[in-house]
A and B are shown apart, each in its own frame.
Chain A
């Protein structure tokens, strides 16, 4: 299972089962399909590091998805 936590969002946390390591973009596509949600541009964080959509995630990963915002 990959656990996805959508921060500052009304979207409930999701658990996605993947057969093999996949990109984060692919996992988020599965999230969209499973729950019909609009995720939009995001900042993904895994183990205190930014994870981009092209990077690989695997079962056991916990990823926080934030709206892509910056300070002003």
Chain B
């Protein structure tokens, strides 16, 4: 049986229910999106009492299987107006498992002027205590205070000042293995949804000592070793260990899809100043607390994360990943890793999504508020977000809002969510994915870039995107890290065997993919019921009118084609 802990944020009452369905067994996005679909009225106000926030761990959480402790968080998004699943690494999923919890559901909402509360979940009780003392603190300070009060091993979820003011690009910060809330479920404005329930933090205490049980412990051990071998032998995963996702800077530059100058261009001069090799060399040269490889969750053998140090070797920011390097680097023509890492740190402290805020600053630069390439000005804009100035509140509401306010037509988003770090006119497969995910523009939903023989034609891209939408969604579907997919891309058996060994439940590859496709169907239906129409799944019109200089390409994908890519 799997438990869901329901907490009424208006009354403080809580109750536990238990289920034994395969949806609960799989957990992750399979569960979070079903719960949103079943329990949240699609036409509700995302900040109203009818929205709910679901935190789900996955089928292998709490075990020693590598990369199995992703936390899937679902709700109606205030940024897109549709369904949202955003996930993060860290230790929260593990702590939930140790408390025998598959899902935490935050329901209802108190009056908007109610005092801030902290939810504390332990083996003896679930309580809501006063959280007013955290108000206004940055995430790093909140994190330190929470660690001091509840211990560094507690699994915490908190928000920054941006979410306290309901900014649409605000995320949820989750504890990393060192007790720092630096692992973000950044996309979709879910931080503001937590704030709308007047919850400033949620803490899962480290007093849950439940050990994982196994139907066949020996077989599970065999399966864990097999997965580790697959991950270590897979050159993709092994390269992640050295360079992390930063390696994409060079790849995207070569493919002319590195977002540059507010997504006007696909290449940037001197891109090597912010590439993986420069980052690797900088971290090694500075030494100190810097790390070129780092695990975001216990037991992960991929270790794609990093710790970027200041010149004196103390931590500046962890992690600094490709998407941020592009949106806060090349997209702004900022060629300085220190400036990018500082912006990333400020974003983490303010509690906002680096992609949406990077894109918003790109829009602001196009509007003439600063020169492209001016790293100091970009840092100052991030400080404005953290300090909640009027401009900061606009930028912290994402690039769609910023573009409307600042009068910029070339706004890089779909459904209000900023484009990730692949300029869509140069990669029609990624463009198709952006236009067909129920979450707003999202690269993890169907990462076609490596498999596009001819990236500048739309031919065959419906099928290609759909193929990778399934591959990409499999990991979310059971709470695994997305990077495991490379090792099980053609055969999910190693993970399904682990499920069998743990629960004595057989899920075939076809049955698993049926769950994935049903999840996609439910997510799209939610968006339809929320009033999102086919015409909303478009880029800004300028992407259709103006060619990307490096490729000469425009977006030529029709509504009918994107509708086909959303048809499950």
Contacts and interface: CB of A to CB of B under 8 A. Distances in A.
A65 to B, nearest CB: 11
B251 A43 contact: yes
Contacts of A71: 245, 248, 321-323, 420-422, 443, 447
A45 interface: yes
Contact of A8 (B277, B452, B455, B550): B277
B451 interface: yes
Nearest to A38: B235
Interface stretch (B152-160, B236-244, B363-371): B236-244
A67 B239 contact: yes
A40 B235 contact: yes
A71 B33 CA distance: 23
Given A48-B256, A50-B452, A72 B247 contact: no
Interface residues of B, number: 40
A68 to B, nearest CB: 5
Contacts of A66: 247, 250-251, 254
Chain A residues touching B, range: 20 to 34
B478 to A, nearest CB: 18
A49 interface: yes
B322 A72 contact: yes
Interface of A: 7-8, 38, 40-43, 45, 48-50, 52, 55, 64, 66-72
Interface of B: 234-236, 238-240, 243, 245, 247-248, 250-251, 254-256, 276-277, 304, 321-323, 420-422, 443-444, 447, 449-456, 482-483, 486, 550-551
30 contacts: A8-B243, A8-B250, A8-B277, A38-B235, A41-B235, A43-B251, A45-B251, A45-B255, A48-B256, A49-B255, A49-B455, A49-B456, A50-B449, A64-B254, A67-B243, A67-B247, A68-B450, A69-B243, A69-B247, A69-B251, A70-B236, A70-B447, A71-B248, A71-B321, A72-B245, A72-B304, A72-B321, A72-B323, A72-B444, A72-B482
Given A8-B243, A66-B251, A71-B421, 16 more contacts: A8-B276, A38-B235, A40-B235, A40-B238, A40-B239, A42-B235, A43-B450, A48-B256, A49-B453, A52-B453, A64-B254, A66-B250, A69-B236, A69-B245, A70-B449, A72-B323
